[in-house]
Amino acid sequence: MKNIEFAPHLVLQTGADCRLSGIRIVQRGDNLQVVYAERPGMWAESKIYTFTIYELIKTVNGDVPYPDLYFKQVKKLNTKASYCDANNALDKESQLFL
């Protein structure tokens, strides 16, 4: 089992002038996804954000060593433009994950 399959926690960070990370929860039919946006740096500057998409997985027949429900990383994308604030990046580039 690779540790990259599990996301033990997501850190939401805020700088002086903008949010450096953020999340969106998206439901498509029976699938539930979490989109986590983060960028490098701690200053009020525009940077490319990385969107990491996790999908809620339900194990079948008690697949060991997986828990009954867990979020598995399914995709990683970069924004096309640079943003200071995570919420702006998520709002303006939602077409990447919707």
- Average pLDDT, consecutive stretches of 10 residues, N- to C-terminus, the chain (98 residues): 57 83 92 94 90 89 74 93 96 89
* pLDDT for res 70: 83
Angle in degrees, CA 27, 80, 78, rounded to 5: 60
First to last CA, the chain: 29
- Which residues contact residue 22 at a Cβ distance below 8 angstroms, ignoring those fewer than 6 apart? 12, 36, 37, 86, 87, 89, 90
**pTM for this entry:** 0.82
